[in-house]
Structure 1
C-alpha cells in the first residue's frame, strides 16, 4: 500500500495542480477498481470541495475517460459530480480500448529522433517495417478481458492475477468493459484490502485538507458551520429565530454572547460528532448556578461560564481534560482544525 500511498500524498501536498489532480484521479480509480467505489467517491467529493477544480481535470487521457465511463456503467449509476463528464459511446470506446491493448510497443520510442521532418520520417519507417515488442501487461489484460467477455469470470480473475504481477495500471483495467464489473464487485487483483483502501483514502483526504485548508477567520457563520458539517458528513439544523434567542435570554436572565447568538441564528444547535457533544437548541438552554450548558449532558460537555469579560466557553472531556476558550467561535474554529487534520 505504501507504494501507492507515499507518492500520491507527496503529489497532493506539494506538486503542481495537474500532477496533484492526476494523483487523486489515479487513486480514486485504484480504489474503485479494487472494490471500494464508496471510498473513491468520498475522495473525489473532497477534492472537488477542497480545490474547486472542474471534475474534467481528473480525466487526463483517453484511457482515464474510458475507465470512468466503464466504472459508471458497472455501478449502474453516475454520481452527481460526474454530470460534467462527457458521455461516451461505450461500444466505440470498447473497440478503441481493445485496439489500444493490442498495439505493440514501438521498437523505436516515439520522439527519440526529435520532431524534425527527418526524425518523423525515420520513426515512421521504423514503425512500418518493425512490428515492435509485445507489451506483456497489455497482453495479460486483454486475455482477462476476453475471458470475462466470454462468460468465464473465474478464468478472468486468474488472468487478472497474472496481470497484477506486472506492476500494472488500474485505469487500463477499469477501461475494459467486461472486466469493470468484476473489479467493482471486489475481485481486488492488486490485493489492496479494506484496511489499506480506507487508509489510502483517508491519507489523501487529509493531505487535500492540509494543502487547501481555508482561512477560518475569513469564513462567515454559514460557511464555518457548513464546513464543519461537510467534514462530518452531516446535515445541519434550521436557524433559531430572534424570538427563540430572546426567549432563551429572558429565561437565563442575561444576554447570550453575541457570537453564540449569531451561531444559533445560523444553526439552532449541532448534531453530535465522535469527539464532540450535541449542541443544544435555543429552546433547550437553561442556567445552573449562573453556568449555562450549551451541549447535551454527558462525559464531554460545553458550558458558558460567567467571567469579567462577559462569558468564557469551557469544554470538559474525560480524556483531554478541561479547556477554556475566550469565545464560542474560537471553540468551533478549533473543532474545525481538528476535523481537517
Structure 2
C-alpha cells in the first residue's frame, strides 16, 4: 500500500473486522501507539480500554516486543499525569537502561535481505549470504530519522527535532504500518510526541480511535440476553408503539384440540408461544400470527399466519417465511421469527420514526 492516513485507517478497520484475533490485537496495538504518538493520549487510552472490554484479553497482547514496551514506557513517563490505568498490567521498566538499549537499537543496520525472506532452503541461504557479503547493511530511513530527532531533542534543539519528525511523518505514511514504536521509544522525543509535535491530519487521531472502537463493537458484539416469551412479545409491542397487555394465552385444552385436528404434535417452543399468547397481532410488515383454533394444515406444514406466508414444519419446528420480493426465509423456530421481527423494529428506531 502506498499510504495515507485514510488508507491506514481503512486497512486497520478491515483487519479488526475480518482478521484473526492475533492480527486484531496487533492492529489495535499499533494504532493506539500511533494515536498516542500523535499527541492524542486520551484517544489512545479510550481505544485500549474499549479493546480490553471487547476482547477481555491481557494488555500484553498489545505489546508484542521489547521496543513496543519501551515506547509505551517512554510515552507514559512523558505524560503530565503519568501512565494510564490500563498500563498498570505492564511490567515496570528501568528507563535509563531502556534508553541505553534503544540507543543501540537506533544504530543497528538492517541486512540487505531480512532473515527468512527467501525461505530456509539451501539456495535461499546461499543467496542471502551472498547479499550480506556484497551489499552493505543499511539503516532503515525511519529509524535514521528517529535517531536524528532523538539526537536533536537530547541537545535541546527542538527546531531540528521537529524538522526530523516532519520528515519521519512524510515517509511513514508511505508505509502500510510504519515503525512508530522505534520513534516513540526515544526518551527525548517522547515529550515532543506527547505535546503533539508529530504531524497528523486534523482530527485524524480521534477519527482513527473512534472507527476502530466501532469495528471492535461490531466484531465482538455481545449476544443479547434471551428474554422469556412474555418479555420478548412485550418488547415487540412496545417498539410498535402499541399499548395494552398481551393477547390471552391458549389453554392446554385448546392446544390438545389443535394437535388432534392437525393430526400431529406441535413443537415445544411453538406450544410455549401459544401458552403465552394465543396468536399475535399484525404490524405493517408482519402478519397476524394465528391462535391455536385457527391453525391451517397445508400438507406436511401448518399455516400459522394471516394473511398466508408463514408456515410451521411440526416435524422440525422450523418456520418458513415467504415473501414475494425477498423469497423464502427459514427460521429455526417461532422464537427466531419473532426475534428477527424485534431486530428490525430496533433498527427502525422508535415508533414515531416509522411509518
Query: Which band: TM-score by shorter chain?
Result: 0.5 to 0.7
Q: CA deviation at 1:6?
A: 0.8
Q: Distance in 1 between matches of 2:163 and 2:15?
A: 33
Q: CA deviation at 1:188?
A: 2.6
Q: CA deviation at 1:65?
A: 1.1
In terms of Rg, which structure is larger? 2
Identify the match of residue 56 of structure 2 among 39, 52, 55: 52
Residue in structure 2 matched with residue 36 of structure 1 by the alignment: 40
Residue in structure 2 matched with residue 276 of structure 1 by the alignment: none
Cα pair 1:104 1:131 within 8 Å, conserved? no
- Gaps in structure 2 of 5+ consecutive residues: 173-177, 232-240, 249-337, 351-355
Cα pair 1:106 1:127 within 8 Å, conserved? yes
CA RMSD of aligned residues (A): 3.9
Matched pairs, number: 245
Q: CA deviation at 1:129?
A: 8.3
Residue in structure 2 matched with residue 184 of structure 1 by the alignment: 194
Q: Distance in 2 between matches of 1:21 and 1:97?
A: 24
Q: CA deviation at 1:154?
A: 2.0
Residue in structure 2 matched with residue 98 of structure 1 by the alignment: 103
Q: Would the alpha carbon gap of residues 159 and 308 (structure 1) be closer, same or farther in structure 2, given more than 3 Å must change? A: closer
Q: For residues 118-154 of structure 1, what are the alpha-carbon distances to aligned partners after superposition, in whole Å with 9 as ceiling and x for unaligned? A: 9779967975886412322211110111111111212
Matched, 1:306 2:244: yes
Q: Distance in 1 between matches of 2:75 and 2:142?
A: 20
Matched, 1:199 2:207: yes
Q: Would the alpha carbon gap of residues 67 and 192 (structure 1) be closer, same or farther in structure 2, given more than 3 Å must change? A: farther
User: What aligned pairs does 1:77-116 form with structure 2 within 5 A after superposition?
Assistant: 77-112=82-117, 114-115=119-120
User: What aligned pairs does 1:215-254 form with structure 2 within 5 A after superposition?
Assistant: 215-218=223-226
Residue in structure 2 matched with residue 16 of structure 1 by the alignment: 20
Residue in structure 2 matched with residue 166 of structure 1 by the alignment: 171
Residue in structure 2 matched with residue 235 of structure 1 by the alignment: none
Q: For residues 28-79 of structure 1, what are the alpha-carbon distances to aligned partners after superposition, in whole Å with 9 as ceiling and x for unaligned? A: 1111111111111111111100111111000112221111111111114222
Q: Distance in 1 between matches of 2:105 and 2:73?
A: 16
Q: For residues 254-274 of structure 1, what are the alpha-carbon distances to aligned partners after superposition, in whole Å with 9 as ceiling and x for unaligned? A: xxxx96xxxxxxxxxxxxxxx
Identify the match of residue 156 of structure 2 among 146, 151, 159: 151
Q: Distance in 1 between matches of 2:63 and 2:196?
A: 23
Q: Distance in 2 between matches of 1:122 and 1:85?
A: 41
Q: Distance in 2 between matches of 1:178 and 1:14?
A: 38
Q: Secondary structure at the match of 2:111?
A: coil
Identify the match of residue 72 of structure 2 among 68, 71, 91: 68
Cα pair 2:43 2:205 within 8 Å, conserved? yes
Q: CA deviation at 1:185?
A: 0.8
Cα pair 2:166 2:198 within 8 Å, conserved? no
Cα pair 1:34 1:192 within 8 Å, conserved? no
Q: TM-score, length-normalised on structure 1? A: 0.61
